[in-house]
Structure 1
Amino acid sequence: MSTRALTYGPVQFPNRLGIEQFQFDRALRLGLVPGADLAGGRWSAGVFEAARQRREEILARVGDQPDLGAVRSAEVLQERLGRPVSSDAVSELGRAEALPIVGEYKGRPLYCGLAVDEFEDLAALERAERDGRLLTRDQAAVHLRIRPVDVDHLIRTGLLRPVERVRGRFRTWVSLYRAGDLTVLPGWLAEAGLDWEAVRATPPGQPSPLADLPSEADLLT
């Protein structure tokens, strides 16, 4: 009578190995454990035994920090680096791939806990704090030193795009704009021949110099 060879699924493998699911997923991501070698996404007993013999090495490499959202990542970085860290900066580090995004939870990015634990680049963090601040339309106007109606024209033309939308009062959606995009915009428009200082100098009630720019929809037709 033959005995069916023991195999392991993606939950059984880490359970029998005595490691957390996130550690197993990270070990797979880092190539410390090979992908499933059997049909149906399962691992053979031989692969499991090889991993069991390397268990301590695998644990040392994957760390013990689960993958984290932006708020919790900021808290961990702040405690470890001894300086304030905002969730906006974490999101910016994710956009720059300085903190790898490895998944999501309820539609929000999850950042690699190992990378958060190992992050040391204070210069990159400074840039992320500066460029990654998210501003509302009115805050964007203050940042650019123009009127909100001028910001509306930048949005209409597609020259300014939100990087995120969040729920505001009365369950309305509020668009948020990245400070780094706002900072480079005046120089880019000036190089394109637009008198940016004239935009800034336009008094209340007067038409915006940006009003004649074609809308994004017009450019696509």
Structure 2
Amino acid sequence: MSKTWERADYGPQQFPDRLGFSLWRFERALAKGLIPPADVGGRRWSVAVVEEVEGRAEEIRTATGSLPDMGAVRAAALLEERFGLPVASEVMVELDRRGLVECVGDYKGHALYDGQALEHFTDRAALERARHDGRLLDRTGAAQCLAVRACDFDHLTKAKWIRPTMWVHSGWQRRSEAPCVALYRLGDLDVLLAHPGIDWEEIRATPKGRPSPLARLTSRGSAKA
């Protein structure tokens, strides 16, 4: 009569398989301390630990939610379907900035956003603010938003009255090169438009070919426009 073979311990693939967990759920449970660290050689779990965790499998399933961490495109599509609003992937950067759906890591250089935060995010007003404030514009688009010349906008960036939110690759760049296109946040442009130290009417009235009044700027908050 043959004996039934039983594992002496479980590795990082066999353990979630036994629990019926996806790898993302298993890793989230580990990160949350719902599953104890490996107790055999630092990379495997003893049968005793596996059986104890197996007894709490449904509790762990509930505590780890139903959505894995995901990239910006997939996360934006999920919010778009939920709220019935167009949601660009750049909105995720703004939601992270506001601490509403945080970036929790990356995969092959692409940001991953907290699946549990996405699962529980229901604030339509916050999403609409993020859609507006988080919209990203290049140099030309930013200047058009402010209704000034591109050279006027250059003085604002040189004096660091506004800074890029991120840099992206241009259409002609190799992916291996450092991104060279600066993108600016619409919410930051709105702050500039309301700044009492900048006379936007004077700037917009300056004829083409004439020096920009913004050339007098030196550094953020220390010069007059």
**TM-score between the two structures when normalised by the length of structure 2:** 0.82
- Taking the aligned partners of 1:162 and 1:70, their CA distance within structure 2 comes to 19
Task: For residue 183 of structure 1, report the CA deviation from its aligned partner.
Answer: 0.7
Task: For residue 27 of structure 1, report the CA deviation from its aligned partner.
Answer: 1.5
**Residue 202 of structure 2 is aligned to residue 195 of structure 1:** no
Number of equivalenced pairs: 209
- Taking the aligned partners of 1:106 and 1:88, their CA distance within structure 2 comes to 18
* Letter paired with 1:31: G
Partner of residue 184 from structure 1, selected from 187, 191, 207: 191
Contact 1:77 1:117 in 2 (8 A): no
**Residue 177 of structure 2 is aligned to residue 173 of structure 1:** no
Unaligned stretches of 5+ residues in structure 2:
1-6, 174-178, 221-225
Task: For residue 37 of structure 1, report the CA deviation from its aligned partner.
Answer: 5.1
Task: For residue 118 of structure 1, report the CA deviation from its aligned partner.
Answer: 2.0
* Letter paired with 1:175: A
Equivalent position of 1:205 in the other structure: 209
Contact 2:66 2:119 in 1 (8 A): no
Identity of aligned residues (%): 50
What is the RMSD computed on CA atoms of the aligned residues?
A: 2.3
**Structure 1 stretch displaced more, 118-127 or 205-214:** 205-214
- Taking the aligned partners of 1:35 and 1:108, their CA distance within structure 2 comes to 27
Greater helix fraction, Structure 1 or Structure 2:
1
Task: For residue 60 of structure 1, report the CA deviation from its aligned partner.
Answer: 2.2
**TM-score between the two structures when normalised by the length of structure 1:** 0.83
Contact 1:101 1:110 in 2 (8 A): yes
- Taking the aligned partners of 2:198 and 2:86, their CA distance within structure 1 comes to 38
- Taking the aligned partners of 1:138 and 1:178, their CA distance within structure 2 comes to 13
Task: For residue 8 of structure 1, report the CA deviation from its aligned partner.
Answer: 4.0
